[in-house]
Amino acid sequence: MSATPERQVRQTPSDIRARKGGVPVACLTAYTTPMAKLVDRACDLVLVGDSVGMVLHGLPSTLGVTMEMMILHGRAVARGVERACLVVDMPFGSYEESPQQAMRNAARLLAETGCQAVKLEGGRHMAETVAFLVARGIPVMGHVGLTPQAVNALGGYKVQGRGADAERIADDAAALADAGAFAVVLEKLPESLGTRITQTILVPTIGIGAGAGCDGQVLVVDDMLGLFSDFRPKFVKRYEEMGEAAGHAISAYADDVRAGRFPAPEHGFSD
């Protein structure tokens, strides 16, 4: 009689929080089941980011992303995740009005996707909402620095936290940690500020363009795989150029079809 396969141990928000100061946390985004399966094999955190609006839906920013979109992609990713901690972004307009609004929508995300936590953007002004959610059993990941949902107020996707603005962002991160966030994303900050915040707050920092001093790192998976060759943020390391390879494969297919080389006899069925 064969032994029962050992079940994978699922990472939880508490496990991620306990990684503070330890082995850095590896996180990537995912928006589909096949990609989620690949990311889940190697990463500690899988994030269904509202970046899905720009990456998969062609939107100019994340502002047009809806709850329905996040639930759709959250469900798809949940089907592919067995061991990593799964976090889903709360889209713009779903939590800013009040803690009660945030509670309704966060509860819906957890119930309808099977995720373990939600992520929301904003600093001190969101601390009350974070505390409200955490007190009611919803783990929250914070996000400060460049917050894409506030791109219009910030004047574009530029580096934050330079000069006098550094103290504001450091205070924002501390406020979220004090409110009960289990981790805080630091986006597009000077490396020295990312390191200082990491050394100051008691929960892990997950950097994206905030330097190597953070407790972990996150990237949009499509960026690091090179699926979009025309978009190259400075903070992204390209591990592959899959977009270029896919383009060559698609061109070869189209050429074969037009030249009558595909399908060949081995691709057909006999009588």
Are 147 and 215 members of one domain?
yes
- Cα separation, 264 vs 271, whole angstroms: 16
Q: What is the pLDDT of residue 248?
A: 96
Are 130 and 259 members of one domain?
no
**Residue 247 and residue 235 in contact, taking contact as beta carbons nearer than 8 Å:** no
pLDDT tens digits, one per residue of 134-163: 999 999 999 999 999 999 999 889 999 999
Asked if residue 126 has pLDDT above 50, the reply is: yes
Nearest to 161 by CA among 229, 128, 106, 207: 207
Take residue 79 and report the two structure tokens written for it.
């089907």
> Distance of CA 140 to CAs 87, 89, 243, Å?
9, 10, 33
Average pLDDT over the chain, rounded to an integer: 95
104: containing domain: 13-240
**What does the pLDDT average to over 216-245?**
91
Q: Which CATH number belongs to the domain containing residue 46 in this structure?
A: 3.20.20.60
Binding residues for 3-methyl-2-oxobutanoate: 50-51, 89, 119
| Residue owning tokens 């504001």 | 168
pTM of the model as a whole: 0.94
- Choosing from 68, 167, 187, 266, the catalytic residue is 187
Are 163 and 258 members of one domain?
no
The count of domains in the chain is: 2
**What does the pLDDT average to over 109-116?**
98
Q: Is 240 one of the catalytic residues?
A: no
In-domain check, residue 1: no
**What does the pLDDT average to over 193-216?**
98
Binding residues for Mg(2+): 50, 89, 121
Are 121 and 250 members of one domain?
no
Pairing of strands 85-89, 117-119: parallel
Are 186 and 262 members of one domain?
no
In-domain check, residue 55: yes
Binding residues: 50-51, 89, 119, 121
In-domain check, residue 233: yes
Give residue 8's pLDDT band: very low, low, confident or very high (50, 70, 90). low
In-domain check, residue 6: no
- Cα separation, 48 vs 53, whole angstroms: 11
Are 94 and 207 members of one domain?
yes
166 conformational bin, left if phi > 0, alpha if psi -120 to 50, beta if neither: alpha
In-domain check, residue 3: no
Are 256 and 209 members of one domain?
no
In-domain check, residue 95: yes
Are 223 and 178 members of one domain?
yes
In-domain check, residue 2: no
Are 225 and 122 members of one domain?
yes
In-domain check, residue 5: no
